[in-house]
Amino acid sequence: MTPSALRTAPPAATRPRRALLAGSVGNFVEWYEFGVYGSFATVIAARFFTPAAAGAGGAAGDGGAGALVGTYASFAVAFFFRPVGALLFGRLGDRIGRRPALVLVVGLMTLATALIGLLPTRSAIGTAAPWLLTSLRVLQGLCAGGEFGGAVALMTESAPPGRRGRHGAWQSFTVALGLLCGAAVAALLGVVLTPAALYDWGWRLPFLLALPMGAAALWLRTGLAEPGRERGADPEPRTAGPDAGSGDDSGSGIGFVRAVVLGVGRIMGWSAAGYTFLVVLPSYFQSTLGASFREAMIATALANLGFAASILPAGILSDRVGRRPVMLGGALTVAVFALPLLDLLQDPGTALPAKAAAVLGAGAAVGLLAGPGPAMLAEMFPARVRCTGLGVAYALANAVFSGCAGLVITALTAATGDTDVPAYYAAGACALSALALAGLRGDDHRRPLR
């Protein structure tokens, strides 16, 4: 073999399957926690953000709208630290290596999640409780910001030719599995525990469950070798990147900033619709539609099931027909059908199977965006800034359009009394995202990574 071939041939530890597993496991742990937090938003509101915590037999809405807004404000704060984490850990991944960045973020994320399960509530330590919770959410936000860039870079760089969409889709698929697992654990606890036990100590169990998950993730990632490339050099010959017609180089300066902004625009619909249908749904059903905790958890599990079922097929399809038609289809589907979907769910005369099918369909539409999304972002940046660039774009989109989703939807619904606010939010973001996605080139999926 030539010296050049030796530098670019992947070592055994970075072959596609190992890279997929190591990259995916951290995503699962991260999004499992976010699913749990969203599912227990009303419980957390009562235990941490209500001066007089809900009683043992408290209902889901005992924390009140104000407490729920406080819970989502803590949720949003964590998201706004994601871009900082993407910059911090992204530069670490680009300069030192993918492995040390990925090991560090999953270790810190696991620690923060477990500590949430051990926190004393407001009834025990007063106003310090919500501040401690928010501090741990900030740490999680920093770690989550670094997780996406490193994992997607690892998974797409190790993908065989013509399979970047499939490999990148595993990042989104494990996100779906994590959210689904979080919702399923919450639903199970809602079934087997009494309301008193759930509000007293049962809510802690899903957070503590992150410990063995994180230990497995650390074990996998510490045994991972770096992709076979020279540090600071592109693994493949440089080609014109997407949007290169402007003359800007997406690896530095104005070109880099422009690529990040464009990336945010292309995934804002994914971010907004994903959190509207997959994370905010439980508390919306309870606080706005008067559903029980169990009904809300079942609806959320169905939405996440639809999401998970469509991700891998969408990623595989994007390897064949391109990222643009698949992602545009998802964005336009949400933009057109979000309002009719919500009206159907609100109609007491709608049969239960029809409501279940509607929730499944909403999750599947988001999956059309999430499947090709990681590969699409990876193709926008050269290797030397890939972790940072795609991580920052993803983190900014999530900070603005996901982290604020619960806060904006809850506050606007309470202020206006309009129960269609979630549909307006998701549809508007997807309509704007469709405009940005229309500029994707049809052959990006066939070009080598730079």
Determine whether 412 is exposed, middle or buried from the number of CB atoms within 10 Å of its CB (0-12, 13-18, 19+).
middle
CA gap 400, 295 in Å, rounded:
29
**56-92: b (≥16 Cβ within 10 Å) or e:** eebebbbbbbebbbbbbbbbbbbbbbbbbbbbbbbbb
Q: How far is CA 253 from CA 235, 240, 258, 361, 386, in A?
A: 21, 16, 9, 41, 14
The pLDDT of residue 246? 38
Mean pLDDT, the chain, rounded, equals 80
The pLDDT of residue 230? 38
Contact yes or no for 285/296 (Cβ under 8 A):
yes
Task: Output DSSP code: residue 225.
Answer: P
Half-sphere exposure of 368 (CA within 13 A, CB side): 21
The pLDDT of residue 100? 85
The pLDDT of residue 234? 40
The pLDDT of residue 292? 73
Contact yes or no for 319/161 (Cβ under 8 A):
no
Determine whether 54 is exposed, middle or buried from the number of CB atoms within 10 Å of its CB (0-12, 13-18, 19+).
buried
The pLDDT of residue 273? 92
Per-residue pLDDT of 30-52, as tens digits, reads 888 877 877 777 788 778 877 65
Domains and CATH numbers, the chain: 10-225+242-446 (1.20.1250.20)
Confidence (pTM): 0.76
The pLDDT of residue 366? 93
Residue 434 structure tokens: 């469709």
Q: Which residues in the chain show pLDDT less than 70?
A: 1-16, 51-76, 225-252, 282-283, 287-288
Contact yes or no for 274/405 (Cβ under 8 A):
no
